[in-house]
Structure 1
């Protein structure tokens, strides 16, 4: 029901009921500086002009936002990594206003307890202190007061991931879900956010896809969102930024790279811009082949290069990314794209694909989000796994990787799953449902108990795609388009309802005429091995297997402990488990010889199934002797290649799938 600003609103239920995200709601004024597609310049640092509304629409929206929660964020102390936040509420609940902070961020399925970094929460009304009581781990309640209520707090920000917040002298980044307490009962009202410039950093600018109401040339100023859900779906990057603009099927896009001062001249902007444009246009055309158009008015990749690392988090019209600096293309690189750069492009492809698959085509169980507790779904194999299948396939379709490079990536995924005994323990549906307690909480037994819904989900998407290609005139692209037309587009008949847990087999049948419920039963809800060798042969791809790796065959994963191999993981069914080795054991000797990875490889090459091996290990400061019989050799790693000869039908299908 509508909320009237003159009447105090009661606290809302935990599950935030807000309007479903429609593309029109993403429209907003851009920042005050505009650049052409060819722009690769640093942002202007000239004198800041006075705030000016971008348009009458922006003025009206800003006025509407004034009726709802109004936040201001400033940098309190870079050296202490502290943001200072204020929230003004014109008409708080007369019974006592509650405030709460999300415990997780959509796209990362783990309760992360963002409230643990919130410090010094205080409330004031008309200049006087208001009693404030913490009523839950992430909730505060202010005593009743007459007049506008002002809440202030600080947030510690030193998480270099894409999920929370970071602040130091080189850059600032935050997801609003980590900083901005929601006012209970006001979540569906317009929200305003004022980002204040740090006086000590005149060269800093702001990058965000939040609609701007009144901002200066550097992007500092007033932003607005139609509700709290949309507010927190827009991360904010501040610092010295390198901006690369381009258009994809007419829609403005931007890659914003932090640390521009140290990256000047170190990034091949022309190549990066062209490659991203190819990715984006390929994905837009996949979902809208007849009239390619993006589901947003603009899009931004917000990138923080680091010494090492790779990761991303999707949002409705942007993505937050980290990568190793060395993975970015350099102007002096040759024509060949490096493995690191190809990985980075795959990351961009993955997060961009999510703009359709999970941000707009959403699981019913996550519609709407409940930001104060786990939201479980058995469909992450669809929303993360299918996205994982397409991320590298899009690179191939866009001409950014060669056919053999794509097949190498597929083989790596197959080998990763084959090296995971947990695939025989946990189904894809269960892996999705248990993400909150297992996938994001790995331990020494994870490989034996779980399987990745990203990797195995991607291989199931491959199996489904190849099945459709071999048994019908349709492909997985057609299924994705039906999902988009049915659930995701702003004119979709089931827009805003979300995909039911059991919906996909019927959608596949609607597209292809094939009843593949058995395939889903065996490989999504069951734990049967995917028939990938046969399916790849149906598209003219050769499957071969090399020699088994010694450590994998022995069921061991090792770390180095001051020159001695230390057991990190013991894999189910291997010699190490049979012998009784345990994580933490330090391997001293195998068959009387000093243990080392090289020695294990030599012994394994000479060993035979049935041989008895002895091990001496140090465990809890005591020498322990163990032994077990070697099992039969495990299959070696899979390699894939284009078959030299293939039947005419297989060759045609391969051409349509792989372009070769």
Structure 2
């Protein structure tokens, strides 16, 4: 269909009108007659996800685009990353057997343009159908994984999009194995299809599939769904914890910003060590966890922290956004210096919110501060890399392993958020704080706005504090000045003490196995790395003493002397091997944090406001 042009329909080309017939009336009827041509239907996209059988790690996707505008070619792409997970994952490497056809079933020419984009020669077709397969073998909140009983799909890793059609409305349907169901935080129609106003809204809904259990509750007249892979042993406890978290942040932020919300708790498969991973979405969150029985312990501190962190993102990040997030780029990195605020301040509110809710103790809150300060005290990057730089540099390492990040902007951002809260409260005699800053930013930069800039945070914080805070931000956010920890903590009636600790280290990591203590990782720049030890060796003795467990090893290690060589016996392919090592002396700082015994009234008031008594 050719686009409508006024020049195509000129009055002079009309047939002669009857005598006495008003030309204005004739033109009116003419325009009414051509109204159908003016009201061109907007393209829409229908997706269908098919999972053939439980345990199948491949999914089949069908994408049907309707009401195309007569274009000769159509580009489709798969995002390079999942919003909220700041890492290039190249989702297209899991896509295979992509085909395109018209409504008559005839194939359409398809060519790859780059690693994640394809061009379809559609020759004016109004409907184009694409089909492809996806390998779903990476269990992470930003990727796709399918197991024998359940699975999880990230929209950005699953659904192709038209780069200039991200605003087109979309529907999503499922064809699943018998007994399986889908759960995602999108409106569902009577025909069981889910609807989204745009591609961005569609991929902002995490997808859980499988034999699922669903607990539906209502909080402040908003439907809340809790989706799990089996009935929890303490459903009342889980419901109470989730409800308390929702109510706490609703009170803090002045209501709930969504019409519905879904918590998806899916266990990591075949993992026993405690691990939690979450990803925020506008109307829900997906949280992976291990061990599996954590589901039955909804009062576990780390479970609560991850839940609170992801839920607070419903405000901070999903609706209160950095300006760079106003228009997501899906084909490449999306840089912003504000991740310290988006993630670090959210982490601060996870702990503060839980303390405010009474779900953790004051001692738990203090321990969060202490452990974070210990991390910063022992990380040279804390004095070399600014929070703004760390926010941008995260794309070099991703967020899959925080051990690879030079400076964790989550943890330092948590402390800087605390210090900013103390700074504002100190300058206003505890009349205002970070809560006021968050609420004001939400009012000034609603979801439909372009989002905030760094200078907007400074200006708003300065206005609330009644004094210019530009220097404060320049030193502690943009710069690497030493944080005013002791002074700030003193303002809130707290004290800190850093003491050096010395320990010996051979430079290898051990893991308990049925065969014994296995050396699973060796630091190449360590005594072990310079020795004949190999990964896979089974440690048998240290200094002549048998070691059968990690506790045995720690006990023997504590008796060794610095700068003194030690004989280790290992078993390699059932043959004993003796190696002599001199353990390295490692000195670290251990930070202690606690309340002052006799605070002033001002100190006590601020302490109560931030962490209670």
* Bigger shift: residues 272-281 or 638-647: 638-647
CA distance in 1: counterparts of 2:510 and 2:84, whole angstroms: 31
Equivalent residue number for residue 25 of structure 1: none
Aligned to 1:117: 94
For residue 214 of structure 1, the aligned residue among 181, 185, 190 is 190
Kindly indicate whether the alpha-carbon contact (under 8 Å) linking 2:150 and 2:212 is maintained by their aligned counterparts in 1.
no
The answer to whether 1:163 aligns with 2:145 is no
Matched, 1:296 2:258: yes
- Is the aligned partner of 1:463 residue 2:423? no
Determine if the alignment matches structure 1 residue 245 to structure 2 residue 216. yes
| Corresponding residue number in structure 1 for 2:77 | 100
1:114 deviates by 0.8
SS at match of 1:193: strand
| Aligned alpha-carbon RMSD (Å) | 3.6
User: What SS does the corresponding residue of 1:162 show, helix, strand or coil?
Assistant: coil
Once the two structures are overlaid, the 10-residue window that deviates more, 555-564 or 394-403, is: 555-564
The structure whose Rg is larger is 2
Distance in 1, matches of 2:381 and 2:508, equals 15
Distance in 1, matches of 2:80 and 2:469, equals 38
- In structure 2, the residue matched to 1:133 is 111
Query: Taking structure 2 as the reference length, what is the TM-score of the superposition?
Result: 0.81
The answer to whether the 8 A contact 1:374-1:436 is kept is yes
1:550 aligns to 2:503 (yes or no): yes
Task: Indicate if the aligned counterparts of 2:95 and 2:135 stay in contact, CA closer than 8 A.
Answer: yes
SS in 1 for 2:168: coil
Deviations 1:442-465 (A, max 9, x none): 598x47xx1100011111111111
CA contact (8 A) 1:428 1:457 kept: yes
Distance 2:522 2:433 in 1: 42
Is 1:232 aligned with 2:236? no
Distance 1:563 1:298, change over 3 A: closer
Distance in structure 1 (CA, Å) of the matches to 2:2 and 2:63: 19
Q: Kindly tell me: are residues 507 and 557 of structure 1, through their superposed partners in 2, closer, same or farther at Cα, counting changes over 3 Å?
A: farther
Q: Which residue of 2 aligns with 1:426?
A: 385
Among candidates 470, 474, 489, match of residue 517 of structure 1: 470
One of 53, 76, 90 as aligned partner of 2:66: 90
- In the TM superposition, 1:62-461 aligns within 5 A as 67-92=43-68, 93-125=70-102, 126-147=104-125, 148-196=127-175, 198=176, 200-201=177-178, 203-215=179-191, 221-257=192-228, 259-260=229-230, 263=231, 266-288=232-254, 293-306=255-268, 307-308=271-272, 309-324=275-290, 325-329=292-296, 341-440=300-399, 446=404, 450-461=406-417
Per-residue deviation, 1:302: 1.2
Alpha-carbon spacing, 1:525–1:239, altered in 2? closer, same or farther (3 Å): same
**Offset at 1:204?**
2.6
Stretches of structure 2 that go unaligned for 5 or more consecutive residues are: 5-39
Whole-angstrom CA distance in 2 between matches of 1:563 and 1:237: 38
Q: Supply the distance in 1 between the matched residues of 2:286 and 2:369 (Cα, whole angstroms).
A: 25
Inter-partner Cα distance in structure 1 for 2:582 and 2:237: 56
Distance apart, 1:566 and its partner CA: 7.2
Deviation of 1:627 after TM superposition, in Å, equals 7.4
Q: How many residues get paired?
A: 557
- Tell me what 2:35 maps to: none
CA change 1:430–1:547 in 2 (3 A) is: closer
Q: Is the 8 A contact 2:508 2:519 kept in 1?
A: no
* Per-residue deviation, 1:509: 0.2
Structure 1's unaligned 5+ residue stretches are: 9-63, 216-220, 331-336
TM (norm. structure 1) is 0.76
- Check whether the contact 2:328–2:334 (CA below 8 A) recurs between aligned residues: yes
Residue by residue, what CA displacement relative to the aligned partner does 1:244-289 show, whole Å, maximum 9, x if unpaired?
Answer: 22233332212111x22xx4xx42111111111111111122111x
CA distance in 1, matches of 2:538, 2:209: 48
Deviation of 1:94 after TM superposition, in Å, equals 3.0
Match of 1:539 among 482, 486, 492: 492
Change (3 A) 1:401 1:282: same
Q: Per-residue CA shift, 1:169-195, capped at 9, x if unaligned?
A: 311321221121112432212112222
| Residues 538, 497 of structure 1: alpha-carbon distance in 2 compared, 3 angstrom cutoff | same
